[in-house]
């Protein structure tokens, strides 16, 4: 009897371990597949209604939070756990202000598509302690700079000065200064990128006067087509103490209009405020408006097709002294700038009256949600819609919003890293599912596409480049990657390919943001010389590409130091290929740092910048391991002025990797333990039977 009890006990222990492991594994699988993360303690539906009668694509919508519509105690004190969803898609957003004590916040959310005169419903969630900050101005707006670092971004801005003027960037603040008593003393920064009409240029700024003249510095903020040729311009100008004089000056095809003292800023010296210029077309009439701290000052409203242009323009900031050299020195301090899309009848935002709350207790997790169906009459006479993807096609495809739709949780976030460029090389973009592509890239924090092309058929990519731009992606054309530069006529072929890109950029509605020239050395292993005259190609690209287009060089392993010096003045940055080297499996930080040390040192020596490009074929198991490498490289090079970012050599290989490799066993040693217990049970059973 005793032996039989022992046998039964062993068998019971075996089945208990087996059932426990199965239960844990099943619970974990269900938790991973759950569309709503139980750690999110707070959710809120937000209804956005389009009012202009236009289909708006990639529109930035301001969400104002206060105690009447949001429970700040449910979120982290800095709002870093905030997330926004449209259907199954995670949306980009940027937190402009967040004050948990005053219970006030302003968040800009980039909405993929707002159908004309329709309403859509977004879901806002927070309360997951594992979530980290993903607020990103660069991915939210058409243009953004928070002035991080210790110098002006050369790929973003051009800078000019006269007399004693200068531009300084320090501690997250840009100072556009007129610091000396000098006639026509001035400083200026203007964007390399240009923008179309229906844009708004917003600047958080303050005036600081360091001289004794009450006029202080003359400060301008505006749009301009060309700094040196100023055919078309819209400038908002302030001067005098507290910036009391505010007026417009506009020009279009040599016709000029100037207003005087239409309104007052009335901001005390040294106090921050936001100044926004809206430039837009409404009912075939071109208009401008001015906003202070987000509020429109109607005294500045102006409309004219004679004096207001509709041609693309850059944005700029300017500080100057007066021509009489009076003691009016000072500067415009700038915290951040951004350009967003704008229509006069902007979308309205309404919070659903009911909130979805999740209460978590030890060992159990329950979700209780009230009915939050929103009737059509509460929002708009039209059908309420839910838009889950952004597309450039018009009209927008509309899908009726069904009550009870669940919003699935996004894929786990990758490790955080901060670089100027996070890129991936792409080929044959139309073979991919575009919404899936963008979602995959955004979840990986990739914001730059290097598009491989060889040949002169460039126009086939225009629609793709346009869609990528609307999703906040930059696109660089990669030339000569597959070109055999040792063949006869290779130089003529490469020049023809380059001319095709330059011609496309000059005429296209969606020009490339950059041209990357893929370089190869001679096939002779003993030679480090270029196999064609790349300098001539870079000179041609630099001369014709224009201010808005960056030029870069992709260099092979061990590239000649003297050639780097020749090319550096002609390019904005280098791409260092950390692959096709004698040392294989370059997938660790230390291995890659050692492999590219020579090239990065040469780039550093000529005061240029470099992007490190890795190969996915080096043995990476999943996307998480690659993004983890990106994060460690960003940390390693954090204080290196030459380091610009990271890139992946081939998206085709990257996309097939799992997000994160699943572990085979939930419990450590569970499989071994199961086999051992099974063996013991069988032994005990046979022994008992024999007795």
The predicted model gives 535-563 an average pLDDT of 87
Distance, in Å, from the CA atom of 464 to the CA atom of 457, rounded to the nearest integer, reads: 14
Q: Count how many residues are written for the chain.
A: 691
Q: Is a pLDDT exceeding 50 seen at residue 409? A: no
For residue 679, what pLDDT is reported? 60
Query: pLDDT at residue 431 above 50?
Result: yes
Other CB atoms within 10 A of residue 252 CB: 21
Torsion of CA 637, 638, 639, 644, to 10 degrees: 70
Residue 166 to residue 176: CA distance in whole angstroms: 7
C-alpha–C-alpha distance, residues 200 and 236, integer Å: 13
- CA neighbor of 502 nearest in space, from 538, 449, 535, 554: 538
Residue 551 pLDDT greater than 70, yes or no: yes
Is pLDDT larger for residue 227 or for residue 315? 315
Backbone angles phi, psi at 311, to 5 degrees: -85, 155
Q: What is the pLDDT of residue 1?
A: 55
Burial 345-373 (b: 16+ CB within 10 A, else e): ebbebbbbeebbbbeeeeeeeeeeeeebe
Comparing 371-375, 427-431, 530-534, the range with the smallest average pLDDT is 371-375
- Cβ–Cβ < 8 Å for 188, 317: yes
Peptide bond into 395 cis (omega under 30): yes
Structure tokens at 575: 């791409």
Judged against a pLDDT cut of 60, whether residue 354 lies above it is answered with no
Residue 210 is predicted with a pLDDT of 79
pLDDT recorded at residue 526: 41
Please determine whether the domains at 42-140+369-385 and 421-654 fall in the same fold group of CATH.
no
Q: Looking at residues 18-46, what average pLDDT do you find?
A: 55
The CA-CA-CA angle for residues 550, 555, 556, to 5°, reads 160
Highest mean pLDDT among 262-271, 338-347, 366-375, 521-530: 338-347
Q: Please report how the helices 534-545 and 490-507 are oriented relative to each other, as an axis angle in degrees rounded to 10.
A: 10
Q: What is the pLDDT of residue 5?
A: 54
Contact 57, 113 (CB under 8 A): yes
- Nearest CA among 294, 336, 343, 393 for reference residue 59: 343
Compute CA 115 distance to the chain's CA centroid, rounded to the nearest angstrom. Answer: 24
Q: Which residues contact 315 (CB under 8 A, 6 or more apart)?
A: 143, 190, 191, 195, 201, 222, 223, 224, 337, 339
Quote the DSSP letter at residue 568: G
What does the pLDDT read at residue 340? 97
Task: List Cβ neighbours of 615 (8 Å cut-off, separation of 6 or more).
Answer: 578, 579, 580, 586, 648, 649, 650
Per residue in 323-344, pLDDT tens? 665 566 789 999 999 999 999 9
Does residue 82 contact residue 93 with C-beta atoms inside 8 Å? yes
> What is the Cα–Cα distance from 155 to 570, expressed in whole angstroms?
13
Confidence at residue 487, expressed as pLDDT on a 0 to 100 scale: 76
pLDDT band, very low/low/confident/very high, at 183 (cuts 50, 70, 90) = low
> Looking at residues 280-308, what average pLDDT do you find?
95
Domain covering 143-341, topology: Jelly Rolls (2.60.120)
Question: What string of DSSP letters covers 211-254?
Answer: SS-TT--EEEEEEES-TTT-SSEEEEEEESGGG-EEEEEEEETT
- Per-residue pLDDT tens over the stretch 377-387: 333 334 444 44
CB of 616 closer than 8 Å to CB of 653? yes
How is 632-658 classified by DSSP, letter by letter?
A: HHHHHTTT-TTEEEEEES-HHHHTTS-
Closest to 592 (Cα-Cα) out of 582, 602, 605, 578:
578
Q: How many H-runs (helices) and E-runs (strands) does the chain carry?
A: 12, 34
Please give the structure tokens belonging to residue 660. 């994160």
Interatomic CA distance for residues 538 and 517, integer angstroms: 8
Q: Do 485 and 532 touch, CB atoms closer than 8 A?
A: yes
Our measurement of the distance from residue 676's CA atom to the centroid of its chain's CA atoms, rounded to an integer in Å, reads 53
Q: In the prediction, which pLDDT does 399 show?
A: 35
Q: How does strand 573-577 pair with strand 550-555? A: parallel
pLDDT of residue 403: 34
pLDDT tens-digit map of 202-240: 999 999 887 777 677 889 999 998 776 667 899 998 877
Per-residue pLDDT at 624: 87
Among the listed residues 477, 480, 642, the one whose alpha carbon sits nearest the alpha carbon of residue 568: 642
The H or E element containing residue 16 is: helix 2-33
Alpha-carbon span 641 to 300, nearest angstrom = 43
> What's the CATH code, domain 421-654?
3.20.20.80
Render pLDDT for 248-262 as a digit per residue (tens, 0 to 9).
Answer: 999 987 788 999 889
Q: How far apart are the first and last CA of the chain?
A: 11
> What SS3 class is residue 362?
coil
User: pLDDT tens across 572-607, in order?
Assistant: 999 999 987 766 678 888 888 988 898 999 999 888
List Cβ neighbours of 609 (8 Å cut-off, separation of 6 or more).
Answer: 420, 572, 573, 574, 603, 641, 642, 643, 644
Which residues neighbour 406 within 8 Å (Cβ) at sequence distance 6 or greater?
A: 35, 36
Question: pLDDT value at position 230?
Answer: 64
Retrieve residue 467's tokens.
Answer: 């869609």
Element (H, E) at 124: strand 119-126
- Residue 646, beta-bridge partner list: 422, 612
Q: Which helix (H) or strand (E) holds 437?
A: helix 434-443
**256, 179, 168: which is closest to 210 by C-alpha?**
179
User: Residue 211: what pLDDT?
Assistant: 72
Could you tell me the residue ranges of all domains in the chain?
2-33+664-690, 42-140+369-385, 143-341, 421-654
CATH class of 42-140+369-385: mainly beta
- Report how far residue 275's alpha carbon sits from residue 255's, in angstroms, rounded to the nearest whole number: 26
Question: What's residue 368's pLDDT?
Answer: 32
pLDDT tens for 618-671 read 778 888 888 889 989 988 998 888 999 999 998 988 888 888 776 554 444 544
- Residue 327 has a pLDDT of 63
CA distance 256 to 135: 41
Q: What average pLDDT does this structure show over 138-147?
A: 95
How far is it between the farthest Cα atoms of the chain? Answer: 116
Phi-psi region of 15 (alpha: psi -120 to 50; beta: other; left: phi over 0): alpha
Give dist(CA 275, CA 321) in Å, integer.
Answer: 21
Average pLDDT (191-196) is 91
Round the average pLDDT of the chain to a whole number and report it: 80
Neighbours of 412 (CB within 10 A): 11
Which residues, 6 or more positions from 384, have their beta carbon under 8 angstroms from its beta carbon? 47, 118, 119, 120, 121, 374, 376, 400, 401
| Residue 527, pLDDT above cutoff 80 | no
CA distance 297 to 278: 11
HEC string for 175-198: EEEECCCCCCCEEEEEECCCECCC
Instruction: Calculate what percentage of the chain has a pLDDT beyond 90.
Output: 41
Contact 199, 339 (CB under 8 A): yes
User: Which residues, at least 6 apart from 626, have a Cβ–Cβ distance to it below 8 Å?
Assistant: 614, 616, 620, 648, 654, 657
Number of other CB atoms surrounding residue 654 within 10 Å? 21
pLDDT of residue 360: 30
* pLDDT band of 33, cuts 50, 70, 90: very low
> How large is the average pLDDT for residues 522-533?
58
């Amino acid at each position: 009897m005793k032996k039989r009890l022992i046998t039964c006990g062993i068998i019971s222990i075996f089945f208990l371990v087996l059932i426990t492991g199965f239960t844990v594994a099943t619970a974990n699988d269900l938790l991973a597949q759950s569309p709503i993360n139980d750690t999110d303690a707070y959710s809120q539906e937000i209804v956005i209604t389009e009012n202009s009668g236009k289909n708006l694509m990639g529109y930035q919508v301001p969400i104002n939070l206060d105690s009447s519509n949001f429970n700040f105690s449910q979120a982290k004190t800095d709002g870093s756990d905030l997330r926004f969803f449209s259907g199954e898609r995670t949306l980009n957003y940027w937190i402009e202000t967040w004050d948990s004590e005053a219970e006030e916040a302003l968040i800009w959310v980039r909405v993929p598509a707002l159908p004309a005169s329709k309403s859509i419903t977004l879901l806002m969630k927070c309360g997951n302690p594992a979530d980290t900050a993903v607020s990103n101005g660069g991915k939210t707006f058409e243009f953004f700079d928070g002035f991080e670092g210790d110098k002006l971004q050369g790929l973003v801005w051009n800078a000019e000065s006269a007399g004693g003027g200068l531009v300084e960037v320090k501690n997250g603040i840009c100072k556009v200064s007129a610091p000396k008593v000098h006639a026509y003393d001035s400083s200026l920064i203007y964007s390399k990128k240009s923008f179309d009409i229906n844009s708004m240029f917003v600047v958080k700024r303050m005036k600081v006067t360091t001289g004794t003249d009450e006029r202080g510095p003359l400060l301008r903020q505006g749009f301009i087509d060309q700094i040196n040729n100023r055919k078309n311009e819209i400038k908002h100008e302030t001067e005098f103490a507290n910036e009391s004089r505010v007026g417009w000056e506009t020009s279009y095809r040599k016709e000029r209009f100037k207003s005087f003292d239409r309104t007052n800023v009335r901001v005390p010296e040294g106090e921050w405020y936001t100044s926004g210029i809206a430039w837009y077309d409404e009912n075939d009439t071109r208009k401008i408006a001015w906003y202070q701290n987000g509020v429109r000052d109607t005294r500045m409203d102006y409309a004219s097709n004679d004096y207001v242009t509709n041609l693309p323009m850059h944005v700029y900031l300017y500080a100057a002294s007066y021509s009489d050299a009076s003691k009016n020195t000072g500067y415009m301090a700038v915290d951040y700038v951004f350009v967003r899309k704008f229509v006069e009848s902007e979308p309205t935002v309404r919070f659903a009256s009911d909130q979805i709350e999740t209460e978590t207790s030890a060992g159990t997790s329950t979700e209780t949600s009230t009915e939050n169906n929103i009737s059509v009459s509460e929002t708009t006479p039209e059908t309420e819609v839910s838009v889950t993807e952004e597309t450039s096609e018009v009209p927008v495809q509309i899908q009726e919003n069904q009550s009870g739709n669940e919003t699935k949780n996004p894929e786990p976030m990758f490790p955080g890293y901060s670089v100027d460029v996070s890129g991936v090389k792409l080929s044959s973009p139309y073979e991919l599912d575009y919404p899936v592509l963008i979602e995959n890239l955004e979840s990986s924090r990739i914001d730059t596409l290097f598009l491989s092309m060889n040949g002169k058929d460039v126009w086939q990519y225009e629609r793709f480049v346009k869609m990528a731009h609307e999703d906040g992606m930059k696109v660089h054309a990669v030339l000569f990657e597959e070109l055999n530069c040792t063949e006869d006529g290779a130089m003529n072929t490469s020049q023809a390919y380059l001319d095709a890109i330059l011609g496309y950029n000059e005429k296209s509605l969606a020009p490339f943001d950059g041209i990357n020239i893929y370089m190869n050395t001679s096939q002779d292993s003993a030679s480090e010389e270029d196999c064609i005259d790349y300098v001539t190609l870079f000179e041609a690209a630099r001369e014709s590409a224009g201010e808005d287009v960056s030029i870069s060089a992709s260099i092979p392993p061990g590239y000649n130091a003297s050639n780097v010096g020749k090319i550096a003045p002609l390019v904005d940055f280098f791409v260092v290929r950390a692959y096709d080297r004698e040392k294989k499996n370059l997938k660790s930080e230390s291995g890659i740092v050692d492999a590219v040390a020579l090239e990065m040192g040469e780039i550093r020596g000529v005061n240029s910048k470099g992007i490190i490009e890795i190969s996915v074929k080096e043995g990476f198991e999943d996307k998480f391991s690659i993004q983890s490498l990106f994060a460690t490289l960003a940390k390693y090079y954090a204080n290196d002025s030459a380091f610009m970012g990271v890139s992946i050599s081939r998206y085709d290989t990257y996309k097939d990797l799992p997000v994160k490799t699943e572990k085979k066993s939930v419990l450590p040693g569970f499989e071994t333990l199961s086999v051992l217990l099974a063996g013991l049970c069988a032994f005990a059973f046979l022994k008992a039977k024999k007795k």
